[in-house]
Amino acid sequence: MTASNPNNIQLAREAGQSIWLDFINRDLLRSGKLAELVELGLGGLTSNPTIFQSAIAQGSDYDDDLERLASEGLDANATFEGLATKDIADAADIFRPTYDRLGGADGFVSIEVDPQLAGDTQSTVEQARRLFATLDRPNVFIKVPATPEGIPAIRTLIGEGINVNVTLIFSRDAYRNVANAYIDGLADYKAKGNSDLSGIASVASFFVSRVDSNIDARLGDASDSSLKGKAGTANAKLAYADFREIFGTEKFAALKASGARVQRPLWASTSVKNPAYPELMYVNGLIGPDTVDTLPPATLDAFLDHGVVAQTLTEGLESAQRDMAALAAAGVNIDDVTDELIAAGVASFTASYVELMADIEAKRDSLAATAS
């Protein structure tokens, strides 16, 4: 695309939103496909245990490294960390020109801590420190879940200058806790004698479609089907209003004067789960300043092909409030929904991680047997 005929990724950036890819594997990195997307304007990349499970378990792209790491006597956890950090480092290097060109405002790649640590603050902090040091790149995010135990970990890590992508945010209460933990972490970092805060970055990953999936199931065959498919977008828009309020305070203004960046809301889970819904309803409906949307490959292709870019995020706030009130009147307790969703999210990523460890063991055994 030329400057006179920008693509939708570029148009979204003009509207203040960075489009990221929610996917990684070796072929994406080695084939030049990721570099091509970066040329189109792609601003970053996210990964999670489920994505890595699919990448490593399928095909033979990782076999050489699996054999090498196995020969070093590493267990499955250490082997996975070796495989994942190599991919993340390579991806971060591909995005580094973007990061440099934009002065550290974009061009990030995310890797998640072991989801089995979601209930352990100290172990989360220790693994995050190790991953950040191992990768040794300024455009890397360490993903930490927004569990009650994750919130103090976020403050600690930001206070040490470690970039954090806070994942699995479903509720506005959790979002506000995350945003305040980020701001408190920045204040801690500054209190240690660091006068320049511009090198610290964070995003708050707010999940969208899973909210609708849960609430639609609760509504069942209710006669008022007009309530279905409304909560995900409404919840996100209200959280964005919270973002604007929190980062418009005097407390943050004092940090901003030292170079602090806002913690951008990142819309996650923006591919529709219900095929009856328009495939881009979350993507098109949540575009606005100081945000990120991370898209799986098929959704990214659809957005490039026929997405509609407009300032939609700041529109319809009163309608969003009415939708959430109507759901409450229909007996849907949003706190119950979001509590259930974060528990399910942690459980799902943990299951993928455990399965991945088993896949790595099985692949190593198979490769060893073939070699002998």
Please give the positions annotated as active site. 143
**Ramachandran category for residue 50: left, alpha or beta (phi over 0 → left; psi -120 to 50 → alpha):** alpha
Alpha helices in 42-120 (DSSP H): 49-57, 63-71, 76-101
Distance in angstroms between the alpha carbons of the first and the last residue of the chain: 52
Q: What angle do CA 172, 332, 229 make, to 5 degrees?
A: 75
- Compute the radius of gyration of the chain from its Cα atoms: 21
Asked whether 88 and 67 are in contact (CB, 8 A), the reply is: no
Q: Please classify residue 285 by burial: count the beta carbons closer than 10 Å to its beta carbon, then call 0-12 exposed, 13-18 middle and 19+ buried.
A: buried
Which has the closest alpha carbon to 288: 324, 321, 271, 264? 264
In angstroms, the Cα distances linking 232 to 26, 212, 324, 369 are 33, 5, 10, 49
Instruction: Residue count of the chain, please give it.
Output: 372
Asked whether 139 and 108 are in contact (CB, 8 A), the reply is: yes
For residues 33-51, one letter each, b for 16 or more C-beta atoms within 10 angstroms of the residue's C-beta and e for the rest, the string is: ebeebbeebbbbbbbbbbb
DSSP 321-358: HHHHHHHHHTT--HHHHHHHHHHHHHHHHHHHHHHHHH
